[in-house]
Structure 1
Amino acid sequence: MLFRKTLIHEMTWMAFGLFVVLLLIVMTSQVVRLLGEAALGALASSALWAVMGFTAVRYLPLLFSLMLFITILSVITRLWKDHEMFVWFSAGRSIYSFISPVLIMGFPVVVLIAALSLFVSPWAQLKGKEYREASLKNDEVAQVAPGVFRESRSADRVYFIENFSPKLGMGENVFMQIRQDGKVSTVLADRGGIEIDEQGDRWMWLKNARAYQALPGSPQYDILSFDEGKIRIDESGRPVVAPAIEATASVDLIRKLDSQRWAELHWRIALPIQALILMLAAIPLAFANPRGGRSFHLLLAALLAFSYYNAMSVFQAWIAAGKIPGIIGMWPLHLIALIVTAALYYWRSKVRA
C-alpha cells in the first residue's frame, strides 16, 4: 500500500502541473495562429476566443496522452536517479510491480481521452466550424476591409474592394494583382466579394471583370473579359481528412464507411490506444543508470513516442488514400508498439539481476 500510495501521489501532482504547462503552451501558440488569421481576414476578430476554445478541446486528447507519458517517465527516472528503485527491488518489487500503480493513476485519463476523441472533439470541431462561418458572414471587417489593400498569406496576391456592403455581401470596383509563374495579372471588376468554401479556402468572386496578364516589362498583354468568375485568394492547407468528416459524429462515421471515414475513425480510436501503450512503455523507458549518461534514455523515449505518433499520421494518410484497407487500419501499428513495449520490459527486467 505504501508503494502504490507514494507513486500515485507523486504522479498525480506531477501530471496536474504538467498539464497546466502544456495547455498554456498550446493556447499561446493557438492565439498567435488565430491572430494571424484574423489579420488576414480569414477569421472574424469577434470569434477569436470562442474558436480558440473549440480548438483547445480538439487538442485535449493529445495533451492528456503527452501528460501521462512525460509524467510517468519523469517520476520513475527520478526514482532511478535517487537510487530508490534499488530499494524497491531489494524489498521484493520488480519493474512489473510499477504497472499496477501506473494503471490506477492513468487508466481513468485514458478513458477520458477515449471520450474526448470519439465524442467531444468532433462536436467541438463542428461547433467551431459553424461559429467561424457565422462570424465571417456577420462581420464586415473580417470578410474584407473596404478601401484597404490586403495581401494573401502566400504574398502573391493583392486585392482591393471599394464600397463594401455587409448586407449584400459584395463591393464595387474590385482590384486584384496576381504574381504567378513569372507573370503579373491585373484583374478589374465592377463587383465582387469574398467567400469561404467547405475546405476553408478563400475565394474572390467577380462580376463584369477584365484581366490583363503579361511578363514584367513586356509591352504585350493577354486580355480576358468575363461576366462571372472566381479567383482563389488563400488555401487553408489540404488536410488528410476533409474538415467535414473530422466534424462528423463517430456514430455517423460508422453508418457510411469509405476510405476517408475509415481513416478518421481509426485516428479517433488510436488516440486512447496510443496513450495506454505509451503510458506502459514509459516505465521501462525511464531506466537511468546513475553512473552513466543522463539523457540517452530520454532521447530514446522521445524518439519512440514521436515515431509512434508520426506513424499514426502516416497510416491515417494511407487509409484515406486507400493504400491500407479500412478493416485493417492501424491495428498492425498498435501490435508492433505492444511488441516493442513487451521487449522493453523483458530487457529492463534483467537490470535487477
Structure 2
Amino acid sequence: MLFESSLRRELARAFGAALVVMLTVVLTMLLVRTLGQASRGEVDPQALLLFLTYAVLGQLGVVLTVALLAAVVGTLARLQRDSELVIWRTCGVGLGGFVAPIVRFAWPVWLAVAVLALLVTPWAQQQRDELRQRYEQRGDLQRIAPGQFQESAGGRRVLFVDREAEAGRGGRNIFVADTAADGSTSVVTARAGTLHGDERGTWLTLLDGQRWQRPADGAGRELASFERYTLRVAEAPPPATELRRHSAMPTWILLARGQAADHAELAWRVGLVLSAVNLTLLGLAATSAQPRVGRGGHLLFMLLAFVVYYNLLGAGQGWASRGRVDPWTFALLLHGGVALLTLGWLAWHESPRPRRLAGATP
C-alpha cells in the first residue's frame, strides 16, 4: 500500500538521522566522563576504548527509545505541517490507520530494547565493574606511569617512580607519601623497589632509602635510613563469590532470588521495554492532537514526557528496593496508566465528536 510504504520509508529516514545524532551526543558525554575517571585513576587508560564500548552498550536501549520517539514525532509533525494528514483523512485513512504501520516499523526496535535491557546491559555493566575492580586491585606501582605522581586507590598514599625497572615488577628512584588511619604521616624515598605478592596482598620492598615520620599530634619527628624496607601497597583481592551490584546481575539470577531489590531491578528492566512502547504511541497521540504546535513544540513536549516518565520509573525502583512499594504494583499503575491515557487520547481524537465540537458555533 502506498500509504504504509511512504510512511515507513519516512520513519526509517527520520529514525536513522535521530539515531546518529543521539549516538554522537551520548558517545561524547560518555567519553568525557570516562576520560575524567581515567585521569582520577579509576579506569585503566589502556582499556579506555573497551570501557567506553561497554558504557555505550549500557545506554543503547535508552538511545534507541529516544531515536524512535523523535522519528515518530518528527514524521507526524511534518505530515501535519504539510497538511498530508488532512489529505490521508479525506482518503479514508484516519488516525487509527497510522497505528498499524508505526507498530510494524517499531516492533524490531522494541525487540532490540528488550534484548538490551534484559541481557546486554547487565552484561555490559558486569564487564565494566570487573575492569574497574581488576584495575583497582593492581599494585600501586603497576598502576602508575614512570615520571608521574599517582594517588593510590584508598586515597591515602601518593607514589612516584622515576623510571620502571627492566623486569616490570618494580621501579627506581621511588617516592612514597603515606597518611595512616590515626593521622600520622610518613615520607619514604628509596633508590629502587620490587613488588611481590602473597595470600595477604601485594608488598613493595624498598632498597637503600630513608623514612621520615611525623606523629598525628605533631610532637616529634623521626628520620631513619634503611637498606631494606617492606610495606603493603594492596590488600588481597576479595573472593570470587563476592556479590555484584543488582544492575550487573543477569536477569535469570534476579528471577531466582526473592529480595526486594531484585524485584525492583527486574521491574526497572521490564519498564524500559514498556516505556518504549508507550512513548511511541504517546508521540502519535500528542502530535496528531496538537496540529497548531510546530515541530519544535512537539519535540519539546515529548522530551518533557520522556523525562517525567523515566524519572517516575527510577523513583519507583528506589522506593521498591527500600520496600516502600510493591514493584509490580507500581509498574502496573505507571505503565498501565500511561497506556490507558494514550489509548483514550487516540480514541477521543479519532471519534467525530471533537471535530463536531470544534466546528460548532454558539
User: What TM-score do the two structures reach when normalised by structure 2?
Assistant: 0.73
Against the structure 1 CA distance between its residues 310 and 67, is the aligned structure 2 distance closer, same or farther, given a 3 Å change threshold? same
Aligned to 1:301: 302
CA contact (8 A) 2:160 2:176 kept: yes
Q: Deviations over 1:35-88 (max 9, x none)?
A: 111111111111000111111111111111111111000000101100111101
- Percentage identity across aligned positions? 26
Q: Deviation of residue 6 (structure 1)?
A: 1.0
Aligned to 1:320: 321
CA contact (8 A) 2:319 2:325 kept: yes
Aligned to 1:234: none
Partner Cα distance (2:308, 2:321) in 1? 20
Task: In structure 2, list runs of 5 or more residues that go unmatched.
Answer: 190-202, 205-210, 222-230, 234-242, 357-362
Number of equivalent positions = 315
CA contact (8 A) 1:57 1:124 kept: yes
- Equivalent residue letter for 1:100: A
CA contact (8 A) 2:114 2:273 kept: yes
- Equivalent residue letter for 2:284: I
Aligned to 1:20: 20
Q: Deviation of residue 288 (structure 1)?
A: 7.0
Aligned to 2:285: 284
Aligned to 2:228: none
Aligned to 1:45: 45
Partner Cα distance (2:216, 2:147) in 1? 24
Against the structure 1 CA distance between its residues 152 and 339, is the aligned structure 2 distance closer, same or farther, given a 3 Å change threshold? farther
Aligned to 1:78: 78
User: What TM-score do the two structures reach when normalised by structure 1?
Assistant: 0.75
Aligned to 1:90: 90
Task: In structure 1, list runs of 5 or more residues that go unmatched.
Answer: 179-184, 192-204, 215-219, 231-241
- 1:323 is paired with a residue whose SS is coil
Aligned to 2:177: 175
The 5-angstrom pairing of residues 98-113 of structure 1 reads: 98-113=98-113
Q: Deviation of residue 97 (structure 1)?
A: 1.2
Aligned to 2:124: 124
CA contact (8 A) 1:72 1:279 kept: yes
Partner Cα distance (1:340, 1:221) in 2? 72
Aligned to 1:66: 66
Partner Cα distance (1:291, 1:61) in 2? 32
Partner Cα distance (2:175, 2:141) in 1? 17
Q: Deviation of residue 247 (structure 1)?
A: 1.5
Q: Which has the larger radius of gyration?
A: 2
Partner Cα distance (1:342, 1:295) in 2? 24
Partner Cα distance (1:292, 1:244) in 2? 44
Partner Cα distance (2:281, 2:71) in 1? 12
CA contact (8 A) 1:55 1:124 kept: yes
Partner Cα distance (1:142, 1:29) in 2? 29
CA contact (8 A) 2:177 2:188 kept: no
Partner Cα distance (1:209, 1:265) in 2? 54
Q: Deviation of residue 10 (structure 1)?
A: 0.6
Against the structure 1 CA distance between its residues 122 and 87, is the aligned structure 2 distance closer, same or farther, given a 3 Å change threshold? same
Against the structure 1 CA distance between its residues 87 and 327, is the aligned structure 2 distance closer, same or farther, given a 3 Å change threshold? closer
- 2:245 is paired with a residue whose SS is helix
Partner Cα distance (1:91, 1:29) in 2? 46
Aligned to 1:263: 264
Q: Deviation of residue 297 (structure 1)?
A: 3.7
Partner Cα distance (2:261, 2:146) in 1? 39
- Equivalent residue letter for 1:41: G
Q: Deviation of residue 33 (structure 1)?
A: 1.1
Aligned to 1:273: 274
Q: Deviation of residue 326 (structure 1)?
A: 3.9
Against the structure 1 CA distance between its residues 293 and 147, is the aligned structure 2 distance closer, same or farther, given a 3 Å change threshold? closer
- Equivalent residue letter for 2:326: P
Against the structure 1 CA distance between its residues 140 and 210, is the aligned structure 2 distance closer, same or farther, given a 3 Å change threshold? closer
CA contact (8 A) 1:65 1:275 kept: yes
Partner Cα distance (1:284, 1:243) in 2? 41
- 2:288 is paired with a residue whose SS is coil
Q: Deviation of residue 255 (structure 1)?
A: 0.6
The 5-angstrom pairing of residues 126-275 of structure 1 reads: 126-135=126-135, 137=137, 143-145=143-145, 148-150=148-150, 159-160=158-159, 167=169, 174-175=176-177, 187-188=185-186, 244-275=245-276
CA contact (8 A) 1:30 1:52 kept: yes
Q: Deviation of residue 159 (structure 1)?
A: 3.5
